[in-house]
Amino acid sequence: MTGHKGKSLYVKVSIGPKVSKTFEFAIGPGRQAGVCSTPVHIETYPLTCEDDEYGALPGCRAVRHCRAFSVVDNQCDSLNFYWNSKAQRLKWYRH
């Protein structure tokens, strides 16, 4: 789920029944770790462990039925999330 307050965007992900992780990103143009504006929406897609621009995603292991997702504001590059099996945590990158 996503939400925003002031100049911060929050992305909260439930990893299991009792585990969640919240990421905070800046809102405003020109911010590397952020989005240009709100509202944002979430797009999900099959996890392939490959990105057209970056190639292989570090620590990623494709698992059947596992999905990756992007937070999209339709103005800046998306924030893309995937599960890093090696590090045992959710990772994100821009593109």
Contact assessment for residue 45 and residue 82, using Cβ atoms and an 8 Å cutoff: no
Residue pLDDT, tens place only, 19-45: 899 999 999 988 788 999 999 999 999
What is the rounded distance in angstroms from the CA atom of residue 56 to the CA atom of residue 73? 25
Q: Taking the CB of residue 85, how many other CB atoms lie within 10 A of it?
A: 14
Which residues, listed in sequence order, are joined to residue 60 by a DSSP beta bridge?
84
Domain ranges in the chain are 2-28+40-94
What is the rounded distance in angstroms from the CA atom of residue 45 to the CA atom of residue 47? 6
Residue pLDDT, tens place only, 61-93: 988 888 899 999 999 999 999 999 999 999 999
